[in-house]
Amino acid sequence: MERRALLGLALVATAAASASPEPAAASSSKEGGGASAETYFRLPVVTASIAGLAGRRGVLSIETGLDVPDAALRLRAQQSAPRLRAAYNTAAQQFAAGLRPGAAPDIDRLAGALQAATNATLGRPGARLLLGTVMAI
């Protein structure tokens, strides 16, 4: 096996992929999935303490982000990031308090609670909460 040839092919493939970002971005926007890079911003990971099996404690970790198409509301959301984090921490702690030890978290209920916290913090709907990894350890 010729490793130098494989390395060369990998470099060419990487260069070709990075040289044409336009078609990939256009195809993802046509499919309607995901958030646009201009309207999305990520927030820090939210954590909450949960009860584990046999009296142990655990951690619920939630990755969050917001997709806000309205420019004025996006500016308000970015300026309200500390308030959003505080609201998310409160909602996550309330959600975690209701979890049974060893049970899997109900992501739909969690997303609803976090979306309600988003709308209440920003004062009106229009920002869509996006969840990344939700992990209970």
Domain count across the chain: 2
- Phi and psi dihedrals of 94, rounded to 5? -65, -40
Model-level pTM greater than 0.85?
Answer: no
- Provide the domain limits for residue 15: 1-33
pLDDT of residue 92: 96
Mean pLDDT of the 102-113 span: 93
Who has greater pLDDT, 117 or 21?
117
pLDDT of residue 3: 46
pLDDT of residue 37: 81
Beta strands in the chain (DSSP E): 40-51, 57-67, 128-136
57 and 103, same domain (yes or no): yes
119 and 77, same domain (yes or no): yes
49 and 29, same domain (yes or no): no
Among residues 51, 136, 135, which one has the least CA distance to residue 98? Answer: 51
DSSP per-residue letters across 17-52? HHH-HHHHHHHHHHHT-S--TTTEEEEEEEEEEEE-
Sign of CA dihedral 72, 40, 135, 79: negative
73 and 92, same domain (yes or no): yes
